C-alpha cells in the first residue's frame, strides 16, 4: 500500500527552464508536506515544506504547490541549474509534531547545460 | 554548526550477526528518527526517540531496536541480520519544541549483509 507516489522516475530539463516534480498521496489526514533533495553518497537535504493550511510556499527558486482536493503536491524549480541534478523525494507527515515521514520513491532530475 | 553525523560510513556483516549504528543529532536538536532506504526506494521510517524513549515505531520487526542517550545521541541495533537488511540507514534529527520540527538527515550508514 503505497501512500505516497512519485510516478515519474526521471526528468530531464535544460538549464534555465522550469523543472516540475510531482507527488500524489492517498491519505487526507496528512498535514505537512516536504521536499528533500539527495545527492549520491549523501543523506537527503531538506528543501522546502508546506502545511495543509496553505496552497503555496516559495523559497528562492523553489516553489511548492499543494492541491488538497486532488491530494497532489508539486515542486517547481525556476530557473533550473545543473547543480540541481539529484534525486528529489517528497515526504508527508500526519502532523507537525513528532513527524513520522512517509517518503515517495523519488524522481531523478537531470539538468543539462 | 555541526550537522547530523553517523558512524560508521560503511559496514559489512554476515547473516545472523548483530550490528550497532550510531548517530549524533544536529546541535540543539532533541529528537532522533531512524530510516531504512533500500536501493531504488524512498526512506522508510523505523522508529523515533525523544527524551530517551521510543516515541513512534514503523512497521519493522523487534530485531530492530534503539536507544537514545542523555546527550540526545542515538544507536540503532539490528539483531539476527538477514540479507534483506542490506540498505542505507539514515538518521534524522529535529527539535520538537521548535516552530517547525523539520527533520535533518545525516549522510547514512551503508550496511551490507552477506
Residue B110: per-residue pLDDT: 96
- Residues in chain A within 8 Å Cβ distance of B31: 98
pLDDT in tens, A26-82: 988 888 899 999 998 889 999 999 989 999 999 999 999 999 999 999 999 999 999
CATH number at residue A67: 2.60.40.10
Residue A98 has pLDDT above 80, yes or no: no
- The DSSP call for residue A97 is S
Quick check: A97 and B101 CB within 8 A? yes
CATH number at residue B23: 2.60.40.10
N-to-C CA span, chain B? 37
B51 CB-contact burial (10 Å; exposed 0-12 / middle 13-18 / buried 19+):
exposed
Phi, psi of A83 (to 5 degrees): -65, -10
Q: DSSP 3-state assignment of A92?
A: strand
- For chain A, the domain total comes to 1
Expressed as residue numbers, the domain containing A56 is 4-112
pLDDT in tens, B9-61: 999 999 999 999 999 999 989 999 999 999 889 999 999 999 999 998 999 99
Instruction: Tell me which chain A residue has its CA closest to the CA of residue B97.
Output: A97
Expressed as residue numbers, the domain containing B36 is 5-113
Phi, psi of B44 (to 5 degrees): -115, 135
- Residues in chain A within 8 Å Cβ distance of B104: 46
Q: Hey, what's the cell of B68?
A: 537514545
The confidence band for A97, taking pLDDT boundaries of 50, 70 and 90, is low
- For chain B, the domain total comes to 1
Query: What is the average per-residue pLDDT within B67-93?
Result: 97
Amino acid at each position: 500500500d503505497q501512500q505516497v507516489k512519485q510516478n515519474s522516475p526521471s526528468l530531464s530539463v535544460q538549464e534555465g527552464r522550469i523543472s516540475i516534480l510531482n507527488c500524489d498521496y492517498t491519505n487526507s489526514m496528512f498535514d505537512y508536506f516536504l521536499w528533500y533533495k539527495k545527492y549520491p553518497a549523501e543523506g537527503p537535504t531538506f528543501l522546502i515544506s508546506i502545511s495543509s493550511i496553505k496552497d503555496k510556499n516559495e523559497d528562492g527558486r523553489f516553489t511548492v504547490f499543494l492541491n488538497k482536493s486532488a491530494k497532489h503536491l508539486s515542486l517547481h524549480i525556476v530557473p533550473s541549474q545543473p547543480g540541481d541534478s539529484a534525486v528529489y523525494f517528497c515526504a508527508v507527515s500526519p502532523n507537525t509534531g513528532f513527524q513520522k515521514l512517509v517518503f515517495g520513491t523519488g524522481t531523478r532530475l537531470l539538468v543539462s547545460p | 554548526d555541526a550537522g547530523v553525523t553517523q558512524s560508521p560510513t560503511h559496514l559489512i556483516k554476515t547473516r545472523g550477526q548483530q550490528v550497532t549504528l550510531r548517530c549524533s543529532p544536529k546541535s540543539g536538536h532533541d529528537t532522533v528518527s531512524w530510516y531504512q532506504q533500500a536501493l531504488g526506494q524512498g526512506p522508510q521510517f523505523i522508529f523515533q526517540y525523544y527524551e530517551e524513549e521510543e516515541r513512534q515505531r514503523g512497521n519493522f520487526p523487534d530485531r530492530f531496536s534503539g536507544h537514545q542517550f542523555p546527550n540526545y545521541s542515538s544507536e540503532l541495533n539490528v539483531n539476527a541480520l538477514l540479507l534483506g537488511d542490506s540498505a542505507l540507514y539514515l538518521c534524522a534529527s529535529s527539535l520538537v519544541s521548535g516552530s517547525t520540527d523539520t527533520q535533518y538527515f545525516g549522510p547514512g550508514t551503508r550496511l551490507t549483509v552477506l
